Structure 1
Amino acid sequence: MKTTLSNDALAAYLARQMSNVFPDREVAAAELTPFVEGGLERLALCFARISDKYLPAGREQLFNHRHTDHYAMFLYLVANTIRKMQGNLELADKAYALNKALHAIDVYHEVELPEVFFFQHPLGTILGRAKYGNYFMAYQRCTVGAEDQKYPVIGEAVVMFGGSAILGDCTIGNNVWLSSGTIVLGQDVPDDSVVFGQSPNITIKSTKRHVVRDLFNHPSGRR
């Protein structure tokens, strides 16, 4: 994967952002370098499976630090990588909070998103501590959260269009499309479905479309 900044330059860039936004201390680039490298490795796995006009299939992928969807994914992965590598959680907190400040997205570093995921202009999106399957996509103003401390289980190949929500004790199957404004609260959704409406009055229709084939870089549609 190509990048618009080298790893060292990107670590320095992020360190300056953290130091300016959170002026409690100066963050050194060297503190961030291993986590930037780890985050970029994970981001490359995502980008290799995404088919998008900014990430066209069949070409070497490019991470552009000025592309805000790219950078939102990167900041989540840096924060989560810091946690996974048992790094300084102060830095994980700052990467998480910087993501909220820059992109209005709330994905805490304890949240485990899958290996392959994609954010599409995700302003106002909140992703909580659910279980996420691979090939997960979220657009703007999406919410995944708990009801009575119970979180959803989300299958593979699920796309949440703008303003949709998955809440509470429910299981979302594989290859599911949540249409704009759909709210699923404590109701299960089967595989290969399109969902409309708001709980308890949701409408579920079967579909032959494939999230993996149509939205990700996998022509067979197999997961």
Structure 2
Amino acid sequence: MVPDGREDAFRKTVDAHLDEALERLHRCINACAPWRPDQFNVLQSSQHCIYLYYLSNTIWKRSGDTAAATRLFLMNKAFNGIDLFYEIAMPEVFYIGHSVGIVLAKATYGNYLVLYQGTTVGRHKDQIPVIGDRVILYPGTSVAGRAVVEDDCVISQGVRVINKHVPRGSMVFAGETPGGLTFRPRPDDLLSEYFRL
């Protein structure tokens, strides 16, 4: 992917961190209901996308090597259409339905997160979103600025949560006024589609 003459050094760095990255992926795959436990399918693009993130993040955290981590970030962006930088602290377990067009900035991400295509999590200057545990972000959603999405929430397709607070257990829809939100109770069984809790 990056023919700069550093392929051998890249392979050595990857080999040194491969086991830890695969263990992280193993925990994630085993928690995700749509995927077969203990089976990493490299041709399943969402699993491969998460693997490339875990590998780049592991390399960066353990060695500080930004060259290898950047190669993997760029590979993930080229293969899967996701902008997920290696410095982003993703949760131990997260599920990607479709990766194309996902952009994730530095934020607080809770465990058991579900992401779909076109999702954006963005900061605004020093304002960083907080996303709780067991949150689903359906296609085309945005969470940005000083937004807080509490645990057990669902952001419906195309909804923008900008500098807003979403209370625990809510399913969020676009409101009748521009930028407004409407809240309803989240269905109780929704997360079982995604995770083995």
TM value normalised by structure 1: 0.82
Conserved in 1, the CA contact under 8 Å of 2:33 and 2:192? no
Aligned to 2:151: 174
Counterpart for residue 5 of structure 2: 25
Measured in 1, the distance between the counterparts of 2:40 and 2:117 equals: 21
Q: How does 1:1-223 map to 2 (within 5 A)?
A: 21-28=1-8, 29-52=11-34, 55-56=35-36, 60-197=37-174, 200-218=179-197
Do 1:107 and 1:126's aligned partners in 2 also have CA atoms closer than 8 Å? yes
- Cα distance in 1, alignment partners of residues 106 and 166 from structure 2: 19
Distance, in Å, in 1 between the alignment partners of 2:16 and 2:134 is 30
CA distance in 2, matches of 1:208, 1:70: 26
Is residue 95–residue 194 contact of structure 2 (8 Å, CA) maintained in 1? no
User: Could you tell me which amino acid in structure 2 is paired with residue 180 of structure 1?
Assistant: Q
Between the two proteins, the alignment pairs up a number of residues equal to 193
Verify the 8 A CA contact 2:91 2:109 in the aligned structure 1: yes
* Structure 2: distance between partners of 1:207 and 1:32: 41
Query: Is contact 1:170–1:188 with CA below 8 Å preserved after alignment?
Result: yes
1:25: how far off? 1.5
The structural deviation recorded for 1:83 is 1.1
Match of residue 13 from structure 1: none
Q: 2:15 is paired with a residue of what secondary structure?
A: helix
Task: Confirm or deny: 8 A CA contact 2:32 2:195 kept in the other structure.
Answer: yes
Q: 1:91 to 1:110 in 2, by over 3 A?
A: same
Q: Could you tell me the percent identity over the aligned residues?
A: 30
Q: Could you tell me how far 1:209 is from its partner in structure 2?
A: 1.9
Q: Which moved further from structure 2: 107-116 or 209-218? A: 209-218
On the 8 A contact 1:175/1:210 being kept in 2, the answer is no
For residue 23 of structure 2, what is the amino acid of its counterpart? E
Deviation at 1:36, TM superposition (A): 1.9
Distance change >3 Å, CA 136–CA 45, structure 1 → 2 = same
- The letter for the 2-side match of 1:24 is D
How many angstroms apart in 2 are the aligned matches of 1:40 and 1:67? 15
Q: Tell me how far 1:30 sits from its aligned partner.
A: 2.7
Aligned to 1:9: none
Structure 1 residue matching 2:14: 3-state secondary structure: helix
For residues 133-183 of structure 1, give each alpha carbon's deviation from its aligned partner in whole angstroms, at most 9, with x where no partner exists. Answer: 110110101000012331101100001110011010021110101111011
Greater relative contact order (Cα < 8 A, sep 6+) = 2
Unaligned runs of 5+ residues in structure 1 are: 1-20, 219-223
Contact conserved, 2:25 with 2:51, CA < 8 A, in 1? yes
Rounded to whole Å, the distance in 2 between the matches of 1:160 and 1:131 is 14
The structural deviation recorded for 1:64 is 1.2
The residue identity in structure 2 corresponding to 1:104 is: G
Query: TM-score with structure 2 length normalisation?
Result: 0.92
